[in-house]
């Protein structure tokens, strides 16, 4: 009996979907807009996160060593920095590399290169660049370096300069900007999704309202609430599936067209490549969002507005 009723409900849902083609088309198009907004939020989040990572990658703290510091002592400090949980990466630049980089940067400055050639020895010391996992963690790394310097008091110190204090104001401002941007991005995302859900719910409610006479007849003949709701839930699921398919198809040419633009504007983030590489995840999110939205909207619309 259960299987028989289930088949009848599914069949009635398909019949209602195709019978009310105009209303079904309107519902699918509205839900497509909703799913498009959800997909847009996914892509916007990826671009936003990628841009933040690009900004974070440009922030670092450098330790400059004295010219007579031994590589062995420098490597000991470098290895201790790598063990810190706040540190993402540590890079080492030798004296020779520092000199070569300096010559490359000032290759068009004849007087500077001439003065450098007149020196008997390399005036530049080695350096270590530190990148933290989060911008707010640079302060704790700087404190660690200060402790290392304090331990070297009374002894020979290999550290010539740490540029954290010079970058401190910029790092603190960037930390606040990143935190504020994440909060604003989350608020905008929630707002867009809520507005889209409300529009979709009202559209499905209107579609169900056109079947109020049919629902009244079903109640008169003694049909149960679940049996009455079933076909409309099936319709809601079909709205979600068709809308998800249309949305995913539309995203292909759009992301293909925007791929090069986002690649150049957002610093290496190609929207089309992101769509292709994360297609399975996006497919699941869009499809499940459509099915869940259609199902819940159908149930709520029947229960609340048609007094089932």
**Per-residue model confidence as pLDDT tens digits over 35-66:** 888 888 888 777 777 776 776 666 777 888 88
Q: Stretch 236-240: mean pLDDT, rounded?
A: 83
State the SS3 of 151-170.
HCCCCCCCEEEECHHHHHHH
| Least confidently predicted of 98-102, 165-169, 272-276 | 165-169
Q: Among 9, 11, 7, which Cα is nearest to 227's? A: 9
How does the average pLDDT of the chain come out, rounded?
75
Q: Domains of the chain: which residue ranges?
A: 2-55+176-305, 67-157
Q: Is the pLDDT of residue 98 over 70?
A: yes
* CATH tag for 67-157 (out of 3.30.70.3040, 2.60.120.10, 2.60.40.3080, 3.30.10.20): 3.30.70.3040
What local confidence, expressed as pLDDT, does residue 178 receive? 65
- Other Cβ atoms less than 10 A from the Cβ of 148: the count is 17
Which residue has better confidence, 259 or 130? 130
Which of the residue ranges 16-20, 117-121, 142-146, 234-238 has the most confident prediction, judged by mean pLDDT?
Answer: 234-238
Is the dihedral angle over the CA atoms 192, 195, 201, 204 positive or is it negative?
negative
What local confidence, expressed as pLDDT, does residue 246 receive? 92
| Least confidently predicted of 49-58, 110-119, 218-227 | 218-227
Compute the C-alpha angle 227/297/281, nearest 5°.
110
What local confidence, expressed as pLDDT, does residue 307 receive? 57
C-alpha separations of 31 from 38, 204, 254, 293 in Å: 10, 9, 18, 9
Confidence band (pLDDT; 50, 70, 90) for 67? Answer: confident
């Amino acid at each position: 009996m259960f299987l028989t009723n289930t088949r009848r409900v599914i069949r009635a849902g398909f019949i209602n979907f195709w019978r009310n083609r105009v209303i079904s088309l309107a519902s699918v198009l509205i839900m497509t807009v909703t799913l498009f907004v959800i997909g847009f939020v996914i892509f916007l989040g990826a671009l936003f996160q990628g841009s933040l990572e690009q900004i974070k990658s440009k922030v670092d703290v450098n330790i400059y060593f004295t010219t007579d510091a031994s590589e062995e002592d420098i490597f000991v400090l470098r290895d201790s920095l790598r063990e810190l949980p706040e540190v993402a990466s540590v890079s080492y630049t030798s004296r020779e590399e520092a000199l070569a980089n300096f010559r490359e940067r000032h290759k068009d400055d004849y007087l500077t290169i001439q003065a450098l050639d007149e020196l008997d020895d390399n005036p530049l010391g080695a350096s270590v660049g530190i990148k933290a996992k989060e911008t707010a963690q640079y302060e704790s790394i700087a404190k660690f370096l200060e402790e290392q310097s304090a331990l070297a008091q009374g002894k020979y110190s290999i550290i010539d300069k740490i540029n954290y204090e010079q970058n401190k104001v910029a790092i603190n401002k960037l930390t606040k900007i990143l935190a504020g941007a994440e909060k604003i991005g989350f608020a905008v995302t929630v707002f867009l999704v809520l507005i889209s859900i409300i529009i979709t719910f009202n559209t499905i409610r209107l579609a169900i309202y056109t079947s109020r006479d049919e629902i009244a007849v079903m109640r008169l003949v003694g049909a149960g609430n679940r049996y009455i709701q079933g076909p409309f839930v099936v319709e809601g699921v079909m709205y979600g599936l068709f809308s998800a398919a249309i949305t995913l198809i539309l995203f292909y040419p759009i992301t293909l067209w925007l791929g090069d633009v986002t690649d150049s504007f957002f610093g290496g983030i190609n929207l089309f490549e992101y769509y292709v590489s994360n297609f399975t995840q996006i497919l699941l999110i869009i499809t499940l969002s459509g099915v869940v939205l259609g199902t819940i909207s159908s149930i709520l619309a029947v229960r609340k507005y048609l007094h089932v």
